[in-house]
C-alpha cells in the first residue's frame, strides 16, 4: 500500500489523537485495544470514493491483523494484505466502488490470556444509512468467519 498525502495526514492526525489520549465517541468498549478513530469514520457517509480503510488503535498492534471490507451484497471489496504501522492498520479498496453501505470487519491479536479481538462497523459511500456503532468481540470462541486468519 502506497501512502498518499491524505494517508500521511491521517497518520499525523491519529498520532495526535493518541498522544492526547482522545477517544472516539463511537469507539468500542470491548477488548483491550479498540479503535479510537477510523477513516472513513464509523457511521459516516463519504461523498468521495474511499481508496482504503484505516483504523487507529489505542495501542500498537504487534501481531497479525486482518481487515475485510464488504459491500451491501456481501462481496469483498478490500484488496491486498492488511498493512500494520504501529497503532494504524489499513487495507486498500478496489477502485470503482458502487454507492451504498460497506461493512468493515477487523481482527487483531489481543492479550495472551484473552486471545484475539476485533469488531465490525459500517460506513457509506454516497448513499445509504450505516450503523453508527462498532460491535466488538474478544476471544477465540467468538471470532467471526471473516476475521479468521488464513491457515
> pTM for this one?
0.77
3-state secondary structure of 147: helix
Q: Rounded mean pLDDT of 44-59?
A: 96
Q: Among 3-7, 105-109, 132-136, which is the least confidently predicted range?
A: 3-7
More confident residue, 137 or 14: 137
Could you identify the residue written with the cell 492479550? Answer: 111
Could you identify the residue written with the cell 489499513? Answer: 90
- Spell out where 7-142 has E strands: 35-39, 45-46, 52-57, 65-70, 78-85, 88-93, 100-108, 117-125, 135-138
In sequence order, what are the residues at sequence separation of 6 or more whose Cβ sits closer than 8 angstroms to the Cβ of residue 43?
26, 121, 122, 123, 130, 131, 132, 133
Amino acid at each position: 500500500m502506497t501512502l498518499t498525502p491524505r494517508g500521511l495526514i491521517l497518520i499525523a492526525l491519529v498520532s495526535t489523537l493518541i498522544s492526547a489520549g482522545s477517544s472516539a465517541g463511537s469507539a468500542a468498549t470491548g477488548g483491550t485495544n479498540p479503535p479510537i478513530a477510523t477513516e472513513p469514520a464509523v457511521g459516516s457517509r463519504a461523498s468521495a470514493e474511499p481508496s482504503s480503510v484505516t483504523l487507529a488503535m489505542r495501542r500498537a498492534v504487534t501481531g497479525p491483523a486482518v481487515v475485510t471490507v464488504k459491500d451491501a451484497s456481501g462481496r469483498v471489496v478490500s484488496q491486498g494484505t492488511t498493512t500494520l504501522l504501529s497503532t494504524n492498520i489499513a487495507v486498500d479498496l478496489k477502485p470503482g466502488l458502487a454507492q451504498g453501505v460497506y461493512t468493515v470487519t477487523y481482527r487483531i491479536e489481543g492479550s495472551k490470556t484473552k486471545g484475539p479481538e476485533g469488531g465490525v462497523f459500517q460506513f457509506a459511500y454516497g448513499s445509504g444509512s450505516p450503523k453508527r456503532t462498532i460491535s466488538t468481540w474478544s476471544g477465540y470462541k467468538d471470532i467471526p468467519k471473516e476475521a479468521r486468519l488464513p491457515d
